[in-house]
Amino acid sequence: MPNKRSRCRDAYRIYCPYCELRLWRLNGPKHRLFYTGPDEISKNMNIPHGKATFSATKGPYVHEYCWLEEFFCSNHGNLWLRVRRSRDGSVNHSIARPEDWHRTTGTVSSE
């Protein structure tokens, strides 16, 4: 079961979106995503528009629990995934898209 409690709270498994093999973490840098503008902040951070407007005046909003990270699949090689951790500890991930790279604090680009 994916939601079974693990001994280590930080341990979570990531599987290849293509072949469903378990992926290896490369322990490379995590590129946190950030959002700019009230609309983006409100939509992605799930906060009221008024609060987002206020946040936007202070600059980009960095998402602490959403980042791009490199993984390795024995079938598909290196993969950059967008990982998003919820407050309850569950993790969602998907292949990083070009627009995700435009929102990271890092400079690595897939383009």
**Positions in the binding site for Zn ion (CB under 5 A):** 16, 18-19, 73, 75-76
Burial of residue 66 (CB within 10 Å: 0-12, 13-18, 19+) is buried
Rank residues 19 and 91 by Cβ distance to Zn ion and give the closer one.
Answer: 19
* Closest separation in Å from C-beta 20 to Zn ion: 7
* Closest separation in Å from C-beta 10 to Zn ion: 23
* Closest separation in Å from C-beta 98 to Zn ion: 20
Asked whether 91 and 85 are in contact (CB, 8 A), the reply is yes
* Closest separation in Å from C-beta 83 to Zn ion: 16
Rank residues 73 and 81 by Cβ distance to Zn ion and give the closer one.
Answer: 73
Rank residues 33 and 81 by Cβ distance to Zn ion and give the closer one.
Answer: 81
Rank residues 75 and 109 by Cβ distance to Zn ion and give the closer one.
Answer: 75
Closest residue to Zn ion in the complex (CB): 16
**DSSP annotation string for 12-77:** ---B-TTT-PBPEE-----EEEEE-SHHHHHHHHT--HHHHHHHHTTS-EEEEEEEEEEEEETTTE
